[in-house]
Amino acid sequence: MRKKLLNGPYLAWMLIFAILPLFIVVWYALTAEIGGERSFSAGSLARVFEPIYLRVLWRSLKLAAVSTLLCFFFGYPVALILTSRQFKRRTILVVLIVLPMWMNFLARTYAWLTLLEKNGVINSVLSFLHLPALSILYTDAAVVLGMVYNFLPFMILPIYSVLYKIDHSLIEAAEDLGATPLVTFRRVIFPQSLAGALSGVIMVFMPAMTTFVIPRLLGGGQYTLIGNLIEQQFLTTYDWGFGSALSLFLMALLLVTGALLMRSRGDGEGGLW
């Protein structure tokens, strides 16, 4: 009973700020304004599947997937280093990973504009060293860089938290039984870290899929990603129906992907889901 009472504020919060808005999104996605009144219509949802919007979606998927993979390949080793016994400066490194997140996301992304531009900081250093200039600003590479940079901590931290909890005696046992470090990693450490890796993948993939600031600033607004398209519907075109339909489709897509990932893992415990 007391537990229920303690749940109250959280439930109310979720109801008002998550469930209710969700229903509003569904409502707008499934209705259209006809003669001043909103009535049921599948028009907005059908529009989502027009080739041009599918292309936008495909492009967003590709960039988000690449960013997530890169985050995984950079993030996993960092998490491993963090948990290794020989590593004494763990707290400092964790703080260093978390610290940038205290600064405004927009300001950090803006900083990359100055770093990457033609006569920017990085190119000044490169030309001083007589190295060829780097020109990746306003390309896919810059967008992926922005995503990896911004979302990397979301990959490292969940992996770190599960690796940290692995019973060290298991690793010692593997070593005693003659497993090489690689085999120990592959058969003992990695399988036990899957839950964290999965949380990391989901936590990076979702914001990467929906961000509109990074492609706008670092991609130079050269192409529309799904996040930009949704923003455009709400702030420029005022087509809340289509904007909601796009959001709904995106949510469904992420849910299905998440569910598939969970199934492939085979159990329901741990992680964020």
* Residue nearer to another protein on the CB measure, 7 or 114: 114
Q: How far apart are CA 96 and CA 132, in angstroms?
A: 31
Instruction: Please state the closest distance from residue 118 (CB atom) to another protein, in A.
Output: 6
Strand pairing partners for 37? 34
Pick from 98, 221, 252, 259 the residue near another protein by CB under 8 A: 221
Residue 237 interacting with another protein (CB under 8 A):
yes
Tell me if 160 sits within 8 A of 79, measured CB to CB. yes
- Is residue 25 a contact residue for another protein (CB under 8 A)? no
Residue 23's Cα: distance from chain center in Å? 24
Nearer to another protein by Cβ, of 181 and 221: the residue is: 221
β-bridge mates for residue 39, sequence order: 32
Backbone angles phi, psi at 40, to 5 degrees: -60, 135
How many residues of this chain interact with another protein, rule: CB under 8 A? 28
By CB under 8 A, is residue 239 in contact with another protein?
Answer: yes
Residue 69 CB, shortest distance to another protein, in Å, is: 21
**What is d(CA 150, CA 105) in angstroms, rounded to the nearest whole number?**
8
Question: What is the C-alpha to C-alpha distance for residues 153 and 96, in angstroms, rounded to an integer?
Answer: 10
> Does position 62 bind another protein by CB under 8 A?
no
Q: Which is nearer to another protein, 27 or 110 (CB)?
A: 110
Binder among 105, 136, 192, 220 for another protein (CB under 8 A)? 220
- The CA distance from 210 to 255, in Å, is 14
Part in contact with another protein (CB under 8 A); list of ranges 80-88, 166-174, 200-208, 229-237: 229-237
From the list 40, 98, 222, 267, which residue makes contact with another protein (rule: CB under 8 A)? 222
Q: How far apart (Å, rounded) are the C-alpha atoms in residues 236 and 227? A: 14
How far apart, in whole angstroms, are the C-alpha atoms of residue 114 and residue 134?
13
Using CB under 8 A as the binding rule, whether residue 186 contacts another protein is answered as: no
Cβ 221 to another protein shortest distance, Å: 3
The distance of closest approach from Cβ of residue 248 to another protein in the complex, given in angstroms and rounded to an integer, is 19
Phi, psi of 240 (to 5 degrees): -65, -30
197 binds another protein (CB under 8 A): no
> Of 144 and 204, which has the nearer Cβ to another protein?
144
CB of residue 236 to another protein, shortest distance in Å? 5
CA distance 57 to 88: 44
Q: How far apart are the C-alpha atoms of 215 and 223, rounded to whole Å?
A: 8
Tokens of 80: 């491993």
Which residues lie near another protein (CB under 8 A)?
A: 52-53, 55-56, 59, 110, 113-114, 117-119, 138, 216-217, 220-224, 229, 232-239
